[in-house]
Amino acid sequence: MKNLLKKSWVVAGMLVFASVAVPVVGTTVAQAQGNAAQEMLSGAGTTGQEDGPEVESSITKIVNILLFLLGVVAVIAIIVGGIMYAVSSGDAGRAKAAKDTIMYAVIGLIVAILAYAIVNFVISSFAE
């Protein structure tokens, strides 16, 4: 009974984390896409440039969409791992597999956030 209560808290924590992480990642990507759209519009009158704002905003937009999808997949994997942990019913092998799923999903989410920061830093440093 104590084990089931512990697993219930873990699943509840995962669901709370997922409900917080998805809007944060989505909002960040939406803001970045809004910034990319503004850059694209501000550079609409400049033609003949090889590396103009159109190329930068297109790259930023594609990378942001891919990173958003990666974040969504990571959050779904965290939820699936939490459910796997809750239904492992004391089996050590299944519980370990569920913990590994959660750990790898969190690592993937951290990598996605860091990749987003690095890409935006590189794009902004080349834009100057």
Q: Name the residue with higher pLDDT: 14 or 57.
A: 57
The arithmetic mean of pLDDT across residues 61-83, rounded, is 88
Tell me, what's the pLDDT at 89? 87
Tell me the whole-structure pTM to 2 decimals: 0.54
Domain that holds residue 61: 2-127
Total structural domains in the chain? 1
The arithmetic mean of pLDDT across residues 28-49, rounded, is 54
Strand runs (DSSP E) across the chain, as ranges? none
Share of the chain above pLDDT 70, in %: 57
End-to-end CA distance of the chain: 61
State how far the Cα of 106 lies from the Cα of 62, in Å rounded to an integer: 23
Tell me, what's the pLDDT at 82? 93
Q: Name the residue with higher pLDDT: 113 or 48.
A: 113
Task: Provide the token pair at 115.
Answer: 């990749």
